[in-house]
A and B are shown apart, each in its own frame.
Chain A
Amino acid sequence: MSNVGIVIVSHSHKVAEGAADMVRQMVGEEVPLAWTGGNSEGGLGTDFAAIGEAINRAWSEAGVAILVDLGGAETNSEMAVEALPDSRRGRVVICNAPIVEGAVVAATEAAGGAPLNVVRRTAEELSP
């Protein structure tokens, strides 16, 4: 049984990369992990196509949990999920959680083999 994958979507390339570094250092390599940050020109923003690619890179049969920062990251991620093939769409969730802490906690849970709904719930417990 594969572990849930984690995708980090930030407006900033550096934030996304840094959050992913923290996940790798604290959780290790057992979790499929991908990140994307910045718009198509390399500025601050989010890129619909890049989010879709990140979901595919982190793909796991157990599903994928996405952590986002501000509004556009969430709405663009929603659209990227909707654009996935039917067979995958239902196995991707966007977590309502702080991006850095959420990614680390979700990845920790995923590394232990938890199913997608548990990974999400654990990350979302961080939100007030």
Chain B
Amino acid sequence: MISLADLSDQATRSRLIAAVAERVIAHTDELTALDSAIGDGDHGHNMKRGFDAVLASLDSLSEMAPAELLKSLGMKLVSTVGGASGPLYGTLFMALGKAWPQNLAQASLAAAFEQAIAAVKARGKSEIGQKTLLDVLAPTLKAFQEGADAEGIAETARSAAEATAPLRATRGRASFLGERSIGHVDPGARSAALIITALCEEGSRN
């Protein structure tokens, strides 16, 4: 089980980044299939390209302290993902790095997550309920704030992604489909859930 204090350890940071990257890459086809239904079908491939680049820089990234690491990881995604998700995930990680607390604790970390989510909202000019990754990030933060354990947080993220299926998209490429976007899980919500569950599961392992 990884604690917040363990983030000062390079090997721990490396494990967490690798777990996230490998999870996203392993789901390339699933994300592409979801995006083909309601978007332009490039989400899986774009995310894979981004996280392949992250894995290629795993050693130099994990050497960095968390704040710097998150900013660099975000910039890496912005530079490599190429789709609309690049700036959104890039903003998420860069803003989280910028807001990363000096005194790492549950409450200060929750505040940093809140700022990072606000930055994603501003970047996407989007609100909760529009069938985007925000519909996973916001309930996950709420679970974290309410003191859920890693398993509870992962479950929240997973079910929040599923819960985007009945929503009608009003932001992003899927919004072009209007009513036809209903009935499909949002690919961005799904990739956000993959990232969060990978972090929670790796964090729970010994």
A44 to B82, CA, bound (A): 8
Q: Which of A34-54 contact B (CB under 8 A)?
A: 39-41, 43-49
- CB <8 Å contact, B173 and A70: yes
Checking A41, A43, A48, A70 against B86 with a beta-carbon cut-off of 8 angstroms, the contacting residue is A48
Q: For residue B83, which residues in chain A have a CB less than 8 angstroms away from its CB? A: 39, 45-46, 72
Q: Could you count the A-B residue pairs with CB atoms below 8 Å apart for me: how many are there?
A: 54
- CB <8 Å contact, B82 and A46: yes
Checking B40, B49, B87, B173 against A76 with a beta-carbon cut-off of 8 angstroms, the contacting residue is B87
Number of B positions contacting A (CB below 8 A): 20
Q: Is A78 an interface residue (CB 8 A)?
A: yes
A37 to B88, CA, bound (A): 19
Q: For residue A47, which residues in chain B have a CB less than 8 angstroms away from its CB? A: 79, 82
Q: Contacts A39-B82, A45-B42, A45-B82; is A78 near B87 (CB within 8 Å)? A: yes
Checking A40, A41, A49, A72 against B84 with a beta-carbon cut-off of 8 angstroms, the contacting residue is A72
Q: Is A85 an interface residue (CB 8 A)?
A: no
Q: Is A26 an interface residue (CB 8 A)?
A: no
Q: Contacts A44-B40, A44-B42, A45-B46; is A72 near B87 (CB within 8 Å)? A: yes
Q: Is A75 an interface residue (CB 8 A)?
A: yes
What per-residue 1/0 map shows which CB atoms of A41-69 lie under 8 Å from chain B?
10111111100000000000000000000
- CB <8 Å contact, B78 and A48: yes
A102 to B175, CA, bound (A): 23
A18 to B82, CA, bound (A): 21
Q: For residue B90, which residues in chain A have a CB less than 8 angstroms away from its CB? A: 79
What per-residue 1/0 map shows which CB atoms of A62-97 lie under 8 Å from chain B?
000000001110011011000000000000000000
Q: For residue A75, which residues in chain B have a CB less than 8 angstroms away from its CB? A: 84, 86-88, 123-124
Q: For residue B80, which residues in chain A have a CB less than 8 angstroms away from its CB? A: 40
A11 to B165, CA, bound (A): 27
A48 to B83, CA, bound (A): 10
- CB <8 Å contact, A49 and B82: no
A40 to B85, CA, bound (A): 15
Instruction: Looking at the assembled complex, report how far the CB atom of B120 sits from the nearest CB atom of chain A, in whole angstroms.
Output: 10
Q: Which of B108-132 contact A (CB under 8 A)?
A: 123-124
A79 to B88, CA, bound (A): 10
Q: For residue B101, which residues in chain A have a CB less than 8 angstroms away from its CB? A: none
Instruction: Looking at the assembled complex, report how far the CB atom of B113 sits from the nearest CB atom of chain A, in whole angstroms.
Output: 20
A78 to B80, CA, bound (A): 16
Q: Which of B73-96 contact A (CB under 8 A)?
A: 78-80, 82-88, 90-91
User: What residue of chain A has the Cβ atom nearest to residue B85's Cβ?
Assistant: A72
Q: For residue B49, which residues in chain A have a CB less than 8 angstroms away from its CB? A: 39-41
With contacts A47-B82, A79-B90 known, what are 15 further pairs, Cβ within 8 A? A39-B83, A40-B79, A41-B49, A43-B42, A43-B82, A46-B82, A46-B83, A47-B79, A70-B173, A71-B84, A71-B173, A72-B87, A75-B84, A75-B86, A75-B88
5 A-B pairs (CB sep. < 8 Å)? A44-B42, A45-B46, A48-B79, A48-B86, A48-B87
The 6 closest A-B pairs by CB, nearest first: A39-B82, A72-B84, A45-B82, A75-B87, A71-B84, A48-B78
